[in-house]
Amino acid sequence: MLEEHRRSDVLRSYGMKASNKVMFYGPPGCGKTLAAEVIAFELDRPLAIVRLDALVSSYLGETAANLRKVFDFVADHPMVALFDEFDAIGKERGNSGEHGELRRVVNAVLQMMDAYQGQSLILAATNHEQILDTAIWRRFDETVEFPLPNNEQLSQLLKLKLRGIRRQFELDDEELITRLANKSGADVERVVRRAIKRMILRSQEFLTIKDLENALVRENK
Protein backbone atom coordinates (compact mmCIF):
# COMPACT_ATOMS: atom_id res chain seq x y z
CA MET A 1 0.00 0.00 0.00
CA LEU A 2 2.83 2.38 0.86
CA GLU A 3 4.60 1.54 -2.39
CA GLU A 4 1.43 2.24 -4.39
CA HIS A 5 1.15 5.73 -2.90
CA ARG A 6 4.86 6.51 -3.14
CA ARG A 7 4.82 5.54 -6.82
CA SER A 8 1.32 6.69 -7.67
CA ASP A 9 2.66 8.63 -10.68
CA VAL A 10 3.91 5.37 -12.21
CA LEU A 11 0.50 3.75 -11.69
CA ARG A 12 -1.26 6.76 -13.23
CA SER A 13 0.92 6.49 -16.34
CA TYR A 14 -0.62 3.05 -16.86
CA GLY A 15 -4.16 4.21 -16.15
CA MET A 16 -4.15 2.78 -12.61
CA LYS A 17 -4.45 4.47 -9.22
CA ALA A 18 -3.26 3.69 -5.72
CA SER A 19 -5.69 2.04 -3.31
CA ASN A 20 -7.29 4.91 -1.41
CA LYS A 21 -9.99 3.10 0.60
CA VAL A 22 -8.77 0.41 3.01
CA MET A 23 -10.55 -1.47 5.77
CA PHE A 24 -8.69 -2.62 8.91
CA TYR A 25 -10.53 -5.21 10.99
CA GLY A 26 -9.83 -7.43 13.98
CA PRO A 27 -9.97 -7.53 17.79
CA PRO A 28 -9.21 -4.36 19.79
CA GLY A 29 -5.63 -3.73 20.81
CA CYS A 30 -4.03 -5.38 17.78
CA GLY A 31 -2.54 -2.28 16.13
CA LYS A 32 -5.12 -0.81 13.74
CA THR A 33 -4.76 2.78 14.99
CA LEU A 34 -1.00 2.40 15.34
CA ALA A 35 -0.81 1.17 11.74
CA ALA A 36 -2.69 4.29 10.61
CA GLU A 37 -0.17 6.47 12.47
CA VAL A 38 2.74 4.64 10.83
CA ILE A 39 1.19 4.97 7.36
CA ALA A 40 0.64 8.72 7.83
CA PHE A 41 4.23 9.13 9.02
CA GLU A 42 5.68 7.09 6.15
CA LEU A 43 3.67 9.04 3.56
CA ASP A 44 4.48 12.36 5.27
CA ARG A 45 0.82 13.28 5.52
CA PRO A 46 -1.25 14.56 8.45
CA LEU A 47 -3.41 11.98 10.21
CA ALA A 48 -7.04 12.91 10.86
CA ILE A 49 -9.06 10.66 13.17
CA VAL A 50 -12.77 11.01 12.41
CA ARG A 51 -14.85 10.80 15.57
CA LEU A 52 -17.95 9.02 14.38
CA ASP A 53 -19.62 9.39 17.78
CA ALA A 54 -19.56 13.16 17.23
CA LEU A 55 -21.04 12.82 13.72
CA VAL A 56 -23.97 10.56 14.53
CA SER A 57 -26.95 12.75 15.37
CA SER A 58 -30.39 11.98 16.71
CA TYR A 59 -31.89 14.42 14.19
CA LEU A 60 -33.31 12.99 10.99
CA GLY A 61 -30.91 13.42 8.08
CA GLU A 62 -28.23 15.29 10.05
CA THR A 63 -25.84 12.33 10.36
CA ALA A 64 -25.58 11.94 6.58
CA ALA A 65 -25.06 15.70 6.20
CA ASN A 66 -22.24 15.61 8.76
CA LEU A 67 -20.60 12.69 6.96
CA ARG A 68 -20.84 14.51 3.64
CA LYS A 69 -18.97 17.48 5.13
CA VAL A 70 -16.21 15.14 6.32
CA PHE A 71 -15.90 13.42 2.94
CA ASP A 72 -15.78 16.81 1.18
CA PHE A 73 -13.04 18.03 3.53
CA VAL A 74 -11.01 14.84 3.16
CA ALA A 75 -11.32 15.02 -0.63
CA ASP A 76 -9.98 18.60 -0.71
CA HIS A 77 -7.03 18.15 1.70
CA PRO A 78 -4.52 15.31 1.10
CA MET A 79 -4.17 13.34 4.35
CA VAL A 80 -4.65 9.95 5.95
CA ALA A 81 -8.17 9.87 7.39
CA LEU A 82 -8.99 7.17 9.91
CA PHE A 83 -12.68 6.39 10.41
CA ASP A 84 -12.40 4.50 13.70
CA GLU A 85 -15.22 2.24 14.91
CA PHE A 86 -16.62 2.29 11.39
CA ASP A 87 -19.37 -0.15 12.38
CA ALA A 88 -21.17 2.84 13.97
CA ILE A 89 -22.22 3.96 10.47
CA GLY A 90 -21.93 0.73 8.49
CA LYS A 91 -24.20 -1.77 10.23
CA GLU A 92 -26.06 -4.42 8.29
CA ARG A 93 -29.20 -2.85 6.83
CA GLY A 94 -31.16 -6.06 7.15
CA ASN A 95 -30.87 -5.99 10.94
CA SER A 96 -34.47 -5.68 12.13
CA GLY A 97 -33.27 -4.01 15.32
CA GLU A 98 -32.04 -0.92 13.46
CA HIS A 99 -34.43 1.93 12.73
CA GLY A 100 -34.89 3.60 9.36
CA GLU A 101 -32.51 6.51 9.98
CA LEU A 102 -29.51 4.21 10.48
CA ARG A 103 -30.39 2.32 7.29
CA ARG A 104 -30.46 5.63 5.44
CA VAL A 105 -27.05 6.48 6.89
CA VAL A 106 -25.61 3.23 5.55
CA ASN A 107 -27.06 4.00 2.11
CA ALA A 108 -25.52 7.47 2.26
CA VAL A 109 -22.13 6.03 3.25
CA LEU A 110 -22.23 3.61 0.32
CA GLN A 111 -22.99 6.48 -2.09
CA MET A 112 -20.19 8.65 -0.65
CA MET A 113 -17.69 5.79 -0.90
CA ASP A 114 -18.67 5.18 -4.53
CA ALA A 115 -18.39 8.87 -5.41
CA TYR A 116 -15.12 9.53 -3.55
CA GLN A 117 -12.33 10.64 -5.91
CA GLY A 118 -10.14 12.62 -3.48
CA GLN A 119 -6.39 12.37 -2.94
CA SER A 120 -6.60 11.38 0.72
CA LEU A 121 -6.15 7.81 1.87
CA ILE A 122 -9.27 6.67 3.73
CA LEU A 123 -8.73 4.03 6.39
CA ALA A 124 -11.70 2.48 8.18
CA ALA A 125 -11.23 0.41 11.33
CA THR A 126 -13.64 -1.87 13.15
CA ASN A 127 -13.56 -4.40 15.97
CA HIS A 128 -16.93 -5.79 14.88
CA GLU A 129 -16.58 -6.70 11.23
CA GLN A 130 -19.35 -9.29 11.54
CA ILE A 131 -22.04 -6.59 11.88
CA LEU A 132 -20.96 -4.53 8.86
CA ASP A 133 -23.30 -4.43 5.90
CA THR A 134 -22.09 -6.83 3.21
CA ALA A 135 -22.17 -4.07 0.60
CA ILE A 136 -19.68 -2.02 2.64
CA TRP A 137 -16.86 -4.46 1.97
CA ARG A 138 -17.10 -4.03 -1.80
CA ARG A 139 -16.48 -0.29 -1.47
CA PHE A 140 -12.93 -0.83 -0.18
CA ASP A 141 -9.93 -1.43 -2.44
CA GLU A 142 -8.18 -3.51 0.21
CA THR A 143 -9.07 -5.20 3.51
CA VAL A 144 -6.43 -6.00 6.11
CA GLU A 145 -7.01 -8.30 9.06
CA PHE A 146 -5.31 -7.53 12.39
CA PRO A 147 -5.55 -10.86 14.28
CA LEU A 148 -4.41 -11.64 17.80
CA PRO A 149 -0.63 -12.23 17.90
CA ASN A 150 0.63 -15.78 17.47
CA ASN A 151 3.30 -17.35 19.69
CA GLU A 152 6.20 -16.04 17.63
CA GLN A 153 4.78 -12.51 17.65
CA LEU A 154 4.16 -12.70 21.41
CA SER A 155 7.82 -13.62 21.91
CA GLN A 156 8.92 -10.72 19.68
CA LEU A 157 6.62 -8.33 21.54
CA LEU A 158 8.04 -9.39 24.91
CA LYS A 159 11.57 -8.90 23.55
CA LEU A 160 10.65 -5.37 22.48
CA LYS A 161 8.84 -4.37 25.69
CA LEU A 162 11.42 -5.94 28.03
CA ARG A 163 14.44 -4.52 26.25
CA GLY A 164 16.96 -3.39 28.85
CA ILE A 165 15.10 -5.09 31.74
CA ARG A 166 17.08 -7.66 33.75
CA ARG A 167 15.04 -10.83 34.11
CA GLN A 168 15.19 -14.40 35.39
CA PHE A 169 13.49 -16.09 32.44
CA GLU A 170 13.78 -16.58 28.69
CA LEU A 171 11.44 -14.66 26.40
CA ASP A 172 10.48 -17.79 24.48
CA ASP A 173 9.53 -19.63 27.68
CA GLU A 174 6.75 -21.97 26.50
CA GLU A 175 4.74 -21.71 29.71
CA LEU A 176 4.85 -17.91 29.65
CA ILE A 177 3.80 -17.73 26.01
CA THR A 178 0.94 -20.14 26.70
CA ARG A 179 -0.32 -17.91 29.52
CA LEU A 180 -0.35 -14.93 27.16
CA ALA A 181 -2.26 -16.75 24.43
CA ASN A 182 -5.40 -14.96 23.19
CA LYS A 183 -4.10 -11.62 24.46
CA SER A 184 -3.81 -8.61 22.18
CA GLY A 185 -0.64 -6.58 21.81
CA ALA A 186 -2.15 -3.86 24.01
CA ASP A 187 -3.01 -6.45 26.67
CA VAL A 188 0.56 -7.76 26.71
CA GLU A 189 1.96 -4.24 26.95
CA ARG A 190 -0.22 -3.51 30.01
CA VAL A 191 0.83 -6.78 31.67
CA VAL A 192 4.52 -6.04 31.11
CA ARG A 193 4.17 -2.45 32.35
CA ARG A 194 2.46 -3.58 35.57
CA ALA A 195 5.11 -6.23 36.18
CA ILE A 196 7.96 -3.75 35.71
CA LYS A 197 6.32 -1.27 38.09
CA ARG A 198 6.01 -4.03 40.69
CA MET A 199 9.70 -4.90 40.26
CA ILE A 200 10.74 -1.25 40.66
CA LEU A 201 8.57 -0.54 43.70
CA ARG A 202 9.82 -3.71 45.43
CA SER A 203 13.45 -2.78 44.68
CA GLN A 204 14.00 -6.08 42.88
CA GLU A 205 17.11 -6.56 40.79
CA PHE A 206 15.43 -8.93 38.34
CA LEU A 207 11.99 -9.30 36.80
CA THR A 208 10.51 -12.72 37.51
CA ILE A 209 7.86 -14.94 35.97
CA LYS A 210 5.88 -14.45 39.18
CA ASP A 211 5.76 -10.69 38.57
CA LEU A 212 4.29 -11.27 35.11
CA GLU A 213 1.84 -13.86 36.46
CA ASN A 214 0.57 -11.44 39.11
CA ALA A 215 0.18 -8.72 36.48
CA LEU A 216 -1.66 -11.17 34.24
CA VAL A 217 -4.09 -12.06 37.04
CA ARG A 218 -4.97 -8.36 37.36
CA GLU A 219 -5.41 -8.09 33.59
CA ASN A 220 -7.77 -11.08 33.52
CA LYS A 221 -9.90 -9.54 36.26
Whether 53 and 12 have beta carbons less than 8 Å apart is answered as no
What's the pLDDT score for residue 25? 96
Q: Which helix (H) or strand (E) holds 143?
A: strand 142-145
CA–CA gap between residue 139 and residue 59 (Å, rounded)? 26
Range list of H helices, 77-204: 100-115, 134-137, 151-161, 174-179, 185-201
**Are 129 and 215 part of one and the same domain?**
no
- Indicate the number of domains in the chain: 2
What's the pLDDT score for residue 59? 60
**Are 160 and 136 part of one and the same domain?**
no
CA–CA gap between residue 76 and residue 90 (Å, rounded)? 23
- Report the 10 Å Cβ neighbour count for 213: 14
CA–CA gap between residue 201 and residue 101 (Å, rounded)? 54
Whether 177 and 151 have beta carbons less than 8 Å apart is answered as yes
**Are 14 and 115 part of one and the same domain?**
yes
DSSP-assigned beta bridge partners for residue 132: 91
Q: Is the pTM of this model over 0.75?
A: yes
**Are 173 and 207 part of one and the same domain?**
yes
**Are 51 and 156 part of one and the same domain?**
no
**Are 40 and 108 part of one and the same domain?**
yes
Whether 2 and 42 have beta carbons less than 8 Å apart is answered as yes
**Are 122 and 92 part of one and the same domain?**
yes
**Are 48 and 9 part of one and the same domain?**
yes
What's the pLDDT score for residue 196? 95
**Are 10 and 73 part of one and the same domain?**
yes
**Are 119 and 158 part of one and the same domain?**
no
Q: What is the CATH number of the domain that holds 211?
A: 1.10.8.60
**Are 11 and 44 part of one and the same domain?**
yes
Domain endpoint, select from 145, 162, 183: 145
**Are 137 and 47 part of one and the same domain?**
yes
Q: What is the CATH number of the domain that holds 65?
A: 3.40.50.300
DSSP string over 176-211: HHHHTTT--HHHHHHHHHHHHHHHHHTT-SSB-HHH
Over the chain (221 residues), the average pLDDT of each successive run of 10 is 94 94 95 96 95 69 84 93 86 56 78 89 93 89 95 92 91 86 94 94 93 90 82
Domain interval for residue 208: 151-220
Domain endpoint, select from 96, 112, 145: 145
Domain endpoint, select from 123, 145, 167: 145
Residue 39's closest CA among 122, 112, 95, 158?
122
What's the pLDDT score for residue 162? 93
CA distances (Å), 62 to each of 7, 57, 81, 98, in order? 38, 6, 21, 17
